Structure formats: structure tokens, C-alpha cells
Amino acid sequence: MNRQGSVSPGTAAPAEERSCSWMKPWLFLVSALAIKTALVTVYLVAPFSRKGDQPTALQQAFTEWRCISAEPQGKERGWMCCPKGWKRFQQSCYYISDDKMSWAESVQNCTGMGSHLVVINSKAEQVFLSKELQASSRGPNFYIGLRAEKVGEWHWVDQTPFNVSAAFWRKGEPTKIDAEKCVVIHSPEAPPNNWNDIRCDHHHRVCEAAAVTV
């Protein structure tokens, strides 16, 4: 006769013991997923282009990157990266300048970093940028990539068609004054409606580039 609690060869283990053995692989997987979830942000110091890839102008301009884990969805690449110090929103990276430049200098500066003056495509993007600019305390006015060659004829720097229904002018703006052909986000104004047309003098700027996936 077997002692109480022991199991003779060929006899099934008690239900409690079978349950614990079955749970061990699942406990391991849950633990692994928890660790992976915790490591969603990494810093890279490399252009990280793969063999055969042509690095973008943005990748060539920067060596330090902040990467966020993205949903792979069956894709080979699962990290979304922006240059260190840039802000990320959805699929884009944004640079908020500390210094001031004219409109033409701002365009050149953004281009030199592999980006362009920001092109705002949605209310969500507009609200995100407005809050970031308010928090920056750098100044009241930040160039965006919108300019008029002629009064009232607005054009984005990347040739995106100007959509009147997706414009975020302050009340009373644009003024349609011939000398005021450049557009800024006026950060003290509550979002979303805080665009001003303004003289193309020296102001801060926001540059935008597509996030790099690796």
C-alpha cells in the first residue's frame, strides 16, 4: 500500500500537481511579456541603416536616437526612432528650435537636418504641437511650413494642398496684409486655433521629419 500523498508508477498525478505543471510555461511567457513591455524605450548611437538600405538625410544628420517599441503587426521592423532631443507624435519627429531665424533661414535649417518646416495635417497634430510649444517657454511665435506668395494664397512647403477646413487661425486671422505672408503658431493662445500670419522676420521654428523605423 502506498503512503498517503504518494503516487505509484503509471498512476495520474493529483489534479493540483497537474495544474501547476501546466501553468509553468504560461507563467514564463507572462513574465517575458512583462519584461518586454517594460523595455519599450531604448537609446541608440548609430545610423542603424541595414545592409543595402540607403540612409535618409535625417539618419545622416544625427547619430543619437530615441526609439519607441512599435506594434510589429507581422512586419520585420518594430522600432520607431527620432533624433535625440526631438519630440515624437504618431509617425513624425519634431524639432523645436531654441534660436530664431528668418523664414528663408528656417527653411534652410530644417532642410539641412533632413526635415522641413512642420506641415500640420490634423487637429490632433495641431493640439500636440501647441501644448509642446506652451511647455517649452522659448517664446510666443514658431514658424510652421505655411506661406503665401500672394495675399490669401497659402502653400505648404512640401506641396501638400492647403485645406481650409484643416486650418487653425486665431480669431481675426489671417489679416491678409501684403507684408504678412508667413505663418506662426502663437503659443500663448489656447489650442487649436492659434495661427497668425506675420512678417517673415526672426522667429523660432518647428521642423518635422518622418520617424525612422528599424
Q: pLDDT per residue over 180-212, tens digit each?
A: 999 999 999 999 999 999 999 999 999 999 999
Does some domain include residue 163? yes
| CA–CA gap between residue 117 and residue 94 (Å, rounded) | 9
| CA–CA gap between residue 19 and residue 12 (Å, rounded) | 12
More confidently predicted of 1 and 144: 144
Does some domain include residue 92? yes
| Cβ pair 208, 118 in contact under 8 A | yes
Does some domain include residue 6? no
pLDDT at residue 207 in the model: 98
Domain CATH code at residue 46 = 3.10.100.10
Chain segment 34-92, per-residue pLDDT in tens = 444 434 455 655 545 554 567 888 999 899 999 988 765 555 567 899 999 999 999 99
| CA–CA gap between residue 26 and residue 32 (Å, rounded) | 10
Peptide bond connecting 72 to the previous residue in cis, omega within 30 degrees of 0 = no
Does some domain include residue 103? yes
pLDDT at residue 69 in the model: 83
The DSSP code for 161 is P
Does some domain include residue 134? yes
| CA–CA gap between residue 2 and residue 152 (Å, rounded) | 95
Quote the domain boundaries for residue 160: 41-213
Does some domain include residue 207? yes
Per-residue confidence at 171, pLDDT binned at 50, 70, 90?
very high
pLDDT at residue 46 in the model: 52
- Distance in Å from the first CA to the final CA of the chain: 64
Does some domain include residue 77? yes
Per-residue confidence at 14, pLDDT binned at 50, 70, 90?
very low
pLDDT at residue 2 in the model: 43
Local structure of 174: helix, strand or coil: coil
Chain segment 108-167, per-residue pLDDT in tens = 999 999 999 999 999 999 999 999 999 988 889 999 999 998 998 999 999 999 999 899
More confidently predicted of 127 and 25: 127
| Domain count for the chain | 1
